[in-house]
Amino acid sequence: MRRFLYILPFLVFMAVACGQDSMGDDPVEYPMPEPDEYGSLRGFRDIHSLIKVNYRYHDCSTQGMAIHGDYAFVFSNKGWCRIYNLKKKTLACETILESSSDDNHANTAQFGSSYAVDGDSFPLIYVSECYGKGHCFVERFDGKDFYLHQTISCWFTVTDWFVDKDGKRLLALQTESTKGMSIYLFPLPDPSVPEVTLTEEDLLGKWHYEFDYRHIIQGGVCGRGNLLIAYGYADTDRGVHVIDLSSGKLVEMDLSDSLNEEPEDVDFHGNSLLLLVNSTNGIYEIMKLLP
């Protein structure tokens, strides 16, 4: 009992001291972190796995990803496709592209703004063959199956195709060995034409970027005034190129310190930026975007 009486004044002193530290006239303030800025893209970094995805499907590696509404279309080499409900975090459907082949790497994919049939739930989707002749396969998804709607080609082999819906442009990315990449800008072809071959006469402009092999190109998407392209392997630098669609200026979102897996593709879901990786961690949320 006597020992408790000796300790009691000390406990009272500590309680008063702690109260003064947190409730005094000059409380300690912890300001919100400054948002990361990449051109016109602003937000707070928030990197965590959102949905687990098996990176091998029909013995093919995970490649492109396209998001419409709450559904993420995850493509694998040869054109295999798994569709995930991002809200429920469940697998909703499994299917395959009509353009499926050994040459169709499905390296990246994006939804356009045009619908093949009135009443369709999903707009046409643009898929980059990457291998072979580098076609852009435009396919319709009816809720169950894919149907090839249009095939776009160019006078050179295209690594990735990107749809700039706001600018009504189609961007063709050509990698140049270990010396970087060039992006060619074209008008977005009329989706009612089954086969389109783009020529130099169609060219609206060209951007060129030089960097080393560590920035190996993966998939990407146009949105919020930028073209975002994932880059890197598990054993190289990893991140996202952010290119201003008005000026062509490129800045880098370096994720090497926070991401160990190979990035595959990137897309927007509401106010979040999601990244598909080639591991069982599947889809990451990497940034909360500001309005």
Domain ranges of the chain: 35-289
Residue 18: per-residue pLDDT: 36
Residue 235: per-residue pLDDT: 84
Residue 40: per-residue pLDDT: 83
For the stretch 142-146, contacts whose Cβ atoms lie closer than 8 Å and that sit 24 or more positions apart, written own/partner, are 142/117, 144/93, 144/95, 145/95, 145/98, 146/81, 146/95, 146/96, 146/97, 146/98, 146/99
The 10s digit of each residue's pLDDT in 222-266 is 999 999 999 998 888 899 999 999 999 999 999 999 889 999 999
The string of DSSP letters for 201-266 reads GG--EEEEE---GGG-EEEEEEETTEEEEEE--TTS--EEEEEETTT--EEEEE-TTT--SPEEEE
Residue 221: per-residue pLDDT: 98
Q: Superfamily for 35-289?
A: Glycosyl hydrolase domain; family 43 (2.115.10.20)
Q: Say what the pTM is.
A: 0.88
Residue segments in the chain with a per-residue pLDDT below the cut of 70? 1-30, 32, 177-178, 212-215
Q: How far is CA 104 from CA 13, 76, 133, 147, in A?
A: 72, 9, 10, 15
